[in-house]
Structures are given as structure tokens and as C-alpha cells.
Chain A
Amino acid sequence: MLLARILEEKLASLYRAGAIHGGVFLGRGQEALSVSVGSNLRKGDIFAPLIRDQAGRMAFGDTVLDTLRTYLGSQLGSMRGRDGNIHRGRPREGYYAMISHLGAMIPAVCGALMARRMRGETGVVGATCLGDGGTSTGAFHEGLNVAAVEKLPLVLVIANNQYAYSTPSNRQFACADLIDKAAGYGVASHRVDGTDLSACLAVLGVAVRAAREGGGPQMIVGDLLRLVGHGEHDDASYIDPRLKASPLGRDCVKVAESFSIEKGWATAEEIAAWRAEAKKEVDATAAKVRREVSPDPGDEEWSAISDTRLADNFLEA
């Protein structure tokens, strides 16, 4: 969680320095909820994260190195310059690469879980994340309905961060509470204060266990506030200052640090040392990746299909 925060601070700084092509989308304020998803999953599970899930991704096994390689367009990254930023993954390891179309990963995770079940595998969980805006899509509806019909061990985590880009919740949905949507599909639901790490860990623990033990799909709504713009290009001037001053606007990393100190699990000095260590790792990795080779258009195969016999014989422009 702390490493994700510090890595994202580096990404923002690289973006401002013009070192990153394309967008940078950060999860500041959402790390507690996100890391709780990744850390409750285990090897062999499936995880399809969304754009604000750096913390969850790292808890599931993504690395500082591959994150930076993808953002900086290194040829050595998992996407090899063919896709960037948060659109990364290693599907063979159960870590799916999101497409930008919101809700689209829900049915894909359902299909993966159906495949595992057909092969006789049990105890597998598939988790995917979405925001409040994503719950308005057709894919959300279709995907959650399929999960319920098939009684799949799907864990759907909604970061209710109050804005979909700039659109506030009252222009996004009209139900009294987002978790009401789950009941319509016959899906179990949970809600949690998304700024409270220990609460998130506990609730995700319950939901993941319920899915793993045959309880069917679980939907979790974490209430929180996005503490950054939609992307680093966005100053988020539309965010209501009253929300920032409310409990939703708490910084989950600070809350977790204070809680740890209060409980006597760590001292302020130890936390400062962890930060310094994380920053050192991130800075050293960024320096290394910035020297790595970029993809060469001359070496690129320029084929989108895997079967080389079937490359279309297009005219060279």
C-alpha cells in the first residue's frame, strides 16, 4: 500500500517531467480498498484490476519494475509498448489486462471461473474492480447477472469514489445506495469504509472466503473519495470541498499509519524508514528502466493474429 503510493507519486513526477507518453491514472485514496482485494487472493486465483488498483495489483504479484516498464514504454515490459499504463497484465498468471470499456472484465472473469469449474478446479476465486460510474454500464448488468445465474465465486469490488471522471453520484445512479444493485441480481453484498484499511481487509476477507466456499458472487462497495484527478491531466476542481472535509476524504494511508502507531505495531520512525526504503527502490528502478530499449517499429511483426499462416496479404502503404 505504501509502496504503491510512493510508486504512484513517482509516476506523477515522471508525467510532469514529460517522461511518460499517454495518461497516468492514480489510485490515491483508494489504496486501502484495493490492497485488501489483492492481499485476500492467492496464487491460482484470478484478478482483473481497474485503473486505480496499483496497490491491489502489487499485492497480487505485480512489480515496481513491470509497472515502470509499462508506463515508460520499455520493450522489456509485459506489454512491450503495445499497450501502456494501467492496461497491463499477465493473463497466464491469472492477472488479467483490463480493456478501457468499463464493466467488460466482469464477464471475462465469469468465463474464466466457468472454465476452471469445467476442469474440476475448486476453491478458485475471481476478483475484479470497478468504480461507481462503471455500475451504470450494460456490461456490469450482464456480467453480474451471469455470475449469479452460474453461482460463480466472483468478487466484485466497487470503489464508490463519488465521481465518475467529473460526474457526481447524483447524475450517475438513483438508487438509495449502490449496494442495492446487488440484491437485484441475487448477489450477496457488503459495504465498507474504504478509507479504513483494517475494515477493508476484514470485509474483503469475509467476501473472498464466502466466494471460495461456494457462497456465490459477492459485491463489495467501498465508500471513499478519489484524492486525485481522473488522470494526472485533471485538476479535479469539480470535487466538492465538503466531501474533502468529510470522513470520506480521509487519506487511507495516513489513517493506516496512525492506526499502526496507535496499536504499537510500528513507530513513526519505522514508517519513515519504510517510506525511504520504498522511495529508494522506486527511484533506482525508474532510473534503470529509463535506460531500457524502446520497441523498434522495424522489428515489430505488425500482426494481430497468432497464426502466422493467416496474416492477410495487405498492400504495403
Chain B
Amino acid sequence: MITYLEAIRAALDKALADDPRVFLYGQDIGSFGGAFKVTKNLAAKFPGRVLDAPLSEDAIVGVAIGAAIEGMRPVVEMQFADFSTCGFNQIVNHAATLFYRTEVPCPIVVRLPSGGTSGSGPFHSQSMEALYAHYPGLIVMTPGTVEDAYSMLLEAIALDDPVIFCEHKFLYNHLKAEKLPGQNLPVGKARLARHGRDATIVTYSAMVHESLAAAEELTGDGYEIEIVDLRTVKPLDTDTVLASVARTGRLLCVSEAFPWGGVSAEVVARVAAEGFGLLDAPPQRLNAKDTPVPYHPDLWTAHRPTASAIASATRRLLEM
């Protein structure tokens, strides 16, 4: 069995082995192997290509941009997605604008260990995908399976554009698969994680699994819920979402991020504008609460959508 975390390490290992332009840069990622041990043993295996960085998120991303201009394929690790705000300027104003301004692509990958885990609190739990998806020039990936964590990271490294790779910390060791995939869906294509006919849940990352559990619970009531895993939130595969809504007539969009704006709002806006006639009920959203992510496990569990909260929201949608 291979975990989500091991799949990310395997992808980094393969990219380093296959492409001399790839190098890794981030805090504690060298001989220590990173705060989550994603890069364990890679520094020894690839001398001079897995580099410890100072506590300088702005400089870490800036270094990646300069190296990318010179033809390298840097993959940087933010120790936690939350700290990427300290590198925000380089990501959104430098990396994201470079190709549009100069015609020189900026093939960097910024890995963001994202999302909540019990006890992590306000500064080690955030989901940043909407913030980065807002900016033109960035690709934002949110893999929710072991297979996607592996194949999408390889694709992120191969792409000429800057990629924000949101890997979910809760999935790191919880999620396991039999083996790594050979082929996978193309970048930007959503996946039907479950077929159904009564309602569509559009979601991504760790919320795919909460939604699958909710759908399982709802089979007891005789409902068949379809689940769309967006995989990549930007570009957003509106076609797959609309096709599902056309089958079910009902939409719930679930995200672990804060509720104001964001991916779930974007999905609902697009479905309302392009697929209004497909809807039998008002499209619904379920997000985290509009507070910082709380520390205490009981508060945290109530703050983010869980399988039971998703099942309740879906029931309400089905009764509309």
C-alpha cells in the first residue's frame, strides 16, 4: 500500500531522476526530510538538488522564479500552506504575471501542505486555493486521491506555467492506494468520483472523502448522489459539472475553505449562469465557517464540513 504522502514523494523522486532541471527548495527539506517527511531521503539520493532554505518564503518563491527564467524546474515547499502568505507577493505579482508580460514562462511548482488537521489551529490549517485561483496566470491543483497526488504533481512539474499544488495534510497518511497510476485524466479535467441521479456534490481534496461518506449514508434513504471531484480548481472543468447537474438537477458545492467567495461560489455562479435551466432547486454551498480555523478538536469538527454535515445539507437540498 502507498499513502498520499508517499505518492507525493514518489513523484518528486521520479521528477528528480528523469529531469536534471528539477530541484527542490524549502525549509527543512534537506537531510531532515521536511516537516512532514515528504522529502525524506531525497537529499541523499540527489546531492545538491534538495536544498534547505532560510525562513524566507518571499525569497524561496523569488529564487524559484529566477531559476525558472534560467530554464530550471524548481519545486518549492511551503512548510504549511498558511505561510505562503509571506511569499504571496512573489507568487501573484511575479510568477503569475511573468508569461503575460514577457512571453517567458515560469515553470515553478509551489507545494502547499493545506487544510485542517485536528489541533492545528488558525495558522496551520488553512485552505488557500481560492486566493491563488483568483489570480490570472496560476494553475491551482487540489488532488484528493493518492493517484492524483502522484500523477498531478508530475504534470505540475512538466507544465510551463506556475502551479500552486494544494496537497491535503489530513490525507497524507490516512489515504492509501494499492499502487501508483500509469495513466490518469488530463490536467484540468474533473472526475466523477461516484455516479448518482438525485443530486450532484461538487467538491475537491479532502472533502471528496467526506462527501463520499455522506453519499454512502444517504443510500440508506434510497438516494443516489453523484460526486464530482474537481481535481484542479483552476482551470475549472465547468463542462463536467454542468453535465452532472443536467443528470441530477440539484447542486451542492462543498469546500473546506472559508465561505466568502471561493471555489464553491465560483462553481455555483457558473452553474447559475450557464445551467440555470438544468436546476430543479436553488444551488447550495457548504463551506467552513467564517472564523479562523479553531484549535480545539470539538470546535474544529464543527468548523469544517464533515460527512454528517454534508449529508444534512444534501437532505435539505433534496427536500427543496
Contacts and interface: CB of A to CB of B under 8 A. Distances in A.
Given A97-B101, A118-B48, A313 B235 contact: yes
B290 to A, nearest CB: 26
Given A108-B69, A111-B74, A304-B96, A79 B63 contact: no
B66 to A, nearest CB: 3
Given A79-B102, A109-B66, A118-B72, A146 B59 contact: yes
A296 interface: no
Given A118-B23, A313-B239, A97 B102 contact: yes
A51 to B, nearest CB: 16
A314 to B, nearest CB: 9
B238 to A, nearest CB: 6
Contacts of B93: 99-101, 104
Nearest to A90: B102
Nearest to B162: A305
A154 to B, nearest CB: 11
A97 B63 CA distance: 15
A99 B97 contact: yes
Interface in A117-148: 118-119, 138-139, 142-143, 145-146
Interface residues of B, number: 52
B161 A111 contact: no
Interface in B53-72: 53-54, 56, 58-72
A115 B66 contact: yes
Interface in B91-105: 93-94, 96-102, 104-105
B65 A146 contact: no
A306 interface: yes
Interface stretch (A34-42, A81-89, A186-194, A280-288): A81-89
A311 to B, nearest CB: 7
Contacts of A228: none
Q: By CB atoms of chain A within 10 A, which of B58, B63, B72, B98 has the most?
A: B63
A83 B137 CA distance: 15
A107 B66 contact: yes
Given A304-B137, A306-B99, A306-B105, A112 B238 contact: no
A142 B71 CA distance: 23
A116 interface: yes
Contact of A307 (B66, B97, B161, B238): B161
Contact of A145 (B54, B89, B139): B54
A91 B104 contact: yes
Interface size class of A (residues with CB under 8 A): 35 or more
A150 to B, nearest CB: 9
A143 B94 CA distance: 15
A310 interface: yes
A296 to B, nearest CB: 16
A106 interface: yes
Interface string B115-152: 00000000000000000000011010000000000000
Contacts of A83: 101
A149 interface: yes
A304 B100 contact: yes
A97 to B, nearest CB: 5
Given A146-B59, A304-B136, A104 B102 contact: no
A17 interface: no
Nearest to B136: A304
B67 A99 contact: no
A96 B69 contact: yes
Contacts of A115: 66-67, 70-72
Interface string B70-94: 1110100000000000000110011
A293 interface: no
A79 B270 CA distance: 33
Contacts of A145: 54, 56, 59
16 contacts: A107-B56, A107-B59, A107-B90, A110-B63, A142-B59, A304-B99, A304-B136, A305-B137, A309-B187, A309-B188, A310-B159, A310-B187, A312-B235, A313-B236, A313-B239, A315-B274
What are the nearest 6 A-B pairs in CB distance?
A: A107-B62, A111-B66, A111-B63, A142-B59, A304-B137, A112-B66
Given A108-B94, A115-B70, 6 more contacts: A91-B69, A101-B93, A118-B48, A304-B99, A305-B137, A310-B139
